[in-house]
Amino acid sequence: MVNAGRVASIFTPFALTIAALVCIILVFLGGSFDGNSTLDDLYFAKLDLTNFTTAVSANLAGGTTGSNLTVLGGALQAAKQQLDMKDYYTIYLRGYCGWNGDDTYANCSSPKAIFWFDPVTIWGLDSNTTGLPVEDLLPSNLRTGLSTYEKVSKAMSIVYLVALAATAATVLVGISAIFSRWGSLATTFFAAASGIFLLVGSIIATALFATLKTVLNKELEDEYGIHTSFGNKGYITTWAGTAFAVGAGFFWLLSVCCCTGRSPYNPGGKDARRTRAEKTPYTYERVGSPYLGPQGGQAVPLTNMGGGAQSAQRQTAYEPFRAQV
């Protein structure tokens, strides 16, 4: 039988761990289903191309060699007209969605374990369609920003995968904490890993997409009208999961010191051996005549009151009794 106090002591960390696991799973499922507004709202960044303009591509259309901005403008114009470049793109942990008009969250990509949004490939701006190397196509600041984004996003994906595995392990190992404090100790290690990796993942995601947003808006918004914004729900979900995971780790640590998992009524337990049920009321029972001796398990006088030469002298004497054990 499980100690009720033990169950109560692990209820809070167990509930927090499950809440953290749900948040991580939601982040992983974001962008996985076409037209699912509940899950697809959990994006980290959104690109709005509805105000896209290619006015700077006039030099390219006239046959003259222009700057990188002119070359990129011509490539974007061709992609928009020929390659069905979408009006909106939302970026998630494991994929992206692109759609036109009111067809919200359509054309979502297949989820990948390691993903980064590569506009050169997704928009068809590589040398296979433009005939130009990327070095001549993108401004240097944009190339540097995308290169950094690619490397960091891969690390971010790995961190989130470890956080998911650690949180799931915390839930499984946490079951053993119901029965003993040793189980709580083992669970605390997984909970600590879950909290640390999810915290790191949330920090990376926030910093990474903040940097990407700045770079894309600087290089693409003023010249081409391509605006990049944050996805609030995605960040709320990952930071809520982080708070749950960190809180769970703290309470799992406290549960190591709280309540043994063994019931005090367990016959094999130390507490059970110290527990004695005493007979009530807590008084001595009346005994029979001291001359006849104890009868039926009655109390026994401390001194033998049986017959003897001096028994007559002690007939009226007070004699305490000891309990029959």
Termini Cα distance of the chain? 31
Residue 168: both structure tokens together: 């799931």
The C-alpha atoms of residue 263 and residue 163 are separated, in whole angstroms, by: 34
The C-alpha atoms of residue 272 and residue 265 are separated, in whole angstroms, by: 5
pTM for the predicted model, two decimal places: 0.72
CA pseudo-torsion sign 76, 78, 83, 88: positive
Residue 33 half-sphere exposure toward CB, CA atoms < 13 A = 11
41 phi, psi to nearest 5 deg: -75, -10
Give the pLDDT of residue 18: 95
Percent of the chain with pLDDT over 70: 65
**Residue 132: Cβ-neighbour burial (10 angstroms; 0-12, 13-18, 19+):** middle
pLDDT in tens, 271-298: 444 544 454 555 555 555 555 555 555 5
Give the pLDDT of residue 272: 47
Closest among 140, 150, 125 to 218, alpha carbons compared: 140
Q: How many CB atoms are closer than 10 A to CB 240?
A: 16
pLDDT in tens, 27-45: 999 988 888 888 999 999 9
pLDDT in tens, 169-179: 999 988 877 77
Give the pLDDT of residue 305: 52
The C-alpha atoms of residue 17 and residue 250 are separated, in whole angstroms, by: 11
State the residue for tokens 């130009």.
Answer: 132
Question: Is the pLDDT assigned to residue 238 strictly greater than 80?
Answer: yes
Residue that wins the pLDDT comparison between 324 and 89: 89
Largest CA-CA distance found in the chain, in angstroms, rounded: 143
Question: Is the pLDDT assigned to residue 68 strictly greater than 50?
Answer: yes
Indicate the length of the chain as a whole number: 325
pLDDT in tens, 107-147: 899 999 999 998 888 887 765 555 666 666 777 888 888 88
Residue that wins the pLDDT comparison between 122 and 270: 122
The C-alpha atoms of residue 258 and residue 16 are separated, in whole angstroms, by: 18
Average pLDDT, whole number, for the chain?
Answer: 77
What number is the average pLDDT over the span 14-20?
A: 94
Give the pLDDT of residue 194: 94
The C-alpha atoms of residue 146 and residue 154 are separated, in whole angstroms, by: 12
Give the pLDDT of residue 60: 38
Residue that wins the pLDDT comparison between 252 and 191: 191
Q: Using an 8 Å Cβ cutoff, are 263 and 2 in contact?
A: yes
82 phi, psi to nearest 5 deg: -105, -30
Q: Using an 8 Å Cβ cutoff, are 7 and 178 in contact?
A: yes
Burial track 250-259 (b if 16+ CB lie within 10 A, e otherwise): bbbbebbeeb
Residue 265: both structure tokens together: 């009524």
The C-alpha atoms of residue 66 and residue 114 are separated, in whole angstroms, by: 36
SS3 300: strand
Range with lowest mean pLDDT among 16-25, 51-60, 91-100, 182-191: 51-60
Q: Residue 90 forms beta bridges with which residues?
A: 46, 97
The C-alpha atoms of residue 181 and residue 267 are separated, in whole angstroms, by: 20
Q: Using an 8 Å Cβ cutoff, are 154 and 4 in contact?
A: no
Residue 298: both structure tokens together: 């009655």
